[in-house]
């Protein structure tokens, strides 16, 4: 599945979070990307960070992501099918992301993630975007159009450097008639979560929403939409929680349980090859039917 779905990760970060966020990410899920860069204010080869903008504050997140996407497009063309843009406090289950993208055509437009709508008059009331913290996925066709057409035209994309990246990227794409896809499974359950795993499983569902979301119509906080069986990502994940998730997802075994879907090991080469072929066919069908 990894060979078929190549994902390059562009991660927005502040360089000051190198030890507290970036290194724990690289130690856990980021190493599963087919390539990655950190869009920061400092170039550092040890963590694959580029100097995406001279100022490293979140106020200039749009400039950092814009320049990060341009950098990947110009330097890694042909080496990815999709780009995942995420933040340095996100945790992504890359296997589930690849499963979600398995039947998606990278040469068609795709802008997919956790969809949000504003219900204030400050921004277009019908304006929708994919939340940038947990992350969103862009197909290589969408990246190409964004870089070659959008970023070069001030009528399509903001030319200023300040601005929130998820809002401005969504506005760019909307001006090119590319709209956000709300990533869900066949039961209409969420795949990307704009908050930490504890909120995602309902531990804090009775607490008020984070101030960031109070001016947005975010259906997750209305406790109407449960988590998918194949979740993709979470936001606001501490370094301790990041390593905990990694261990719980990949390190433990439960007596009497196994994931039969991917259990294909066999000493007989012919049997093994037949199992691989069958699992691949099942994977294709599952990915097509399970996700919207």
β-strand partners of 57: none
Give per-residue burial for 131-151: e unless 16+ CB within 10 Å, then b.
bbbbbbbbbbbbbebbbeebb
Task: Reduce the DSSP state of residue 135 to 3 states and report it.
Answer: coil
The SS3 of residue 188 is coil
Three-state DSSP state, 280:
helix
- The closest alpha carbon to 81, from 1, 18, 148, 25, belongs to 1
Residue 212, sorted as left (phi over 0), alpha (psi -120 to 50) or beta, turns out to be alpha
Length of the chain: 292
Cα separation, 40 vs 18, in Å, equals: 10
Q: Which value, in Å, is the radius of gyration of the alpha carbons in the chain?
A: 19
Q: In the chain, count H helices and then E strands.
A: 8, 12
Q: Residue holding tokens 């390539």?
A: 35
In 3D, which of 26, 25, 36, 32 has the Cα closest to residue 2?
32
pLDDT given for residue 271 in this prediction: 46
Distance from the first to the final alpha carbon of the chain:
19
Question: What stretches in the chain show pLDDT beneath 70?
Answer: 1-2, 118-126, 202-225, 257-279
Looking at residue 264, what is its pLDDT?
45
- pLDDT reported for residue 289: 84
pLDDT at 226: 77
Q: What is the DSSP letter of 149?
A: I
């Amino acid at each position: 599945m990894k060979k078929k779905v190549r994902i390059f990760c562009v991660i927005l970060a502040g360089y000051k979070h190198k030890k507290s966020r970036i290194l724990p990410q690289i130690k856990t899920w980021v190493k599963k990307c087919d390539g990655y860069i950190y869009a920061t204010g400092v170039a550092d080869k040890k963590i694959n960070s580029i100097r995406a903008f001279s100022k490293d504050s979140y106020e200039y997140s749009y400039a950092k992501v814009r320049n990060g996407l341009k950098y990947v497009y110009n330097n890694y063309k042909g080496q990815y099918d999709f780009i995942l843009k995420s933040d340095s406090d996100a945790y992504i289950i890359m296997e589930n992301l690849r499963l979600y993208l398995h039947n998606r055509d990278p040469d068609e437009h795709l802008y997919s993630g956790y969809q949000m709508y504003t219900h204030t008059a400050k921004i277009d009331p019908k304006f929708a975007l994919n939340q940038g913290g947990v992350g969103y996925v862009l197909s290589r066709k969408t990246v190409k159009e964004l870089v070659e057409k959008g970023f070069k035209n001030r009528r399509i994309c903001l030319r200023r450097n300040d601005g929130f990246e998820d809002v401005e990227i969504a506005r760019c794409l909307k001006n090119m008639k590319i709209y956000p896809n709300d990533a869900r499974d066949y039961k209409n359950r969420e795949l990307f979560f704009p908050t930490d795993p504890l909120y995602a499983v309902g531990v804090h569902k009775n607490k008020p929403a984070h101030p960031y979301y109070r001016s947005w119509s975010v259906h997750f906080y209305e406790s109407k939409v449960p988590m998918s069986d194949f979740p993709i990502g979470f936001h606001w994940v501490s370094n301790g929680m990041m390593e905990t998730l990694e261990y719980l997802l990949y390190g433990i075994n439960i007596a009497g349980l196994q994931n039969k879907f991917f259990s294909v090991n066999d000493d007989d080469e012919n049997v093994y090859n037949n199992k691989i072929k069958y699992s691949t066919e099942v994977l294709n069908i599952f990915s097509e039917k399970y996700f919207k």
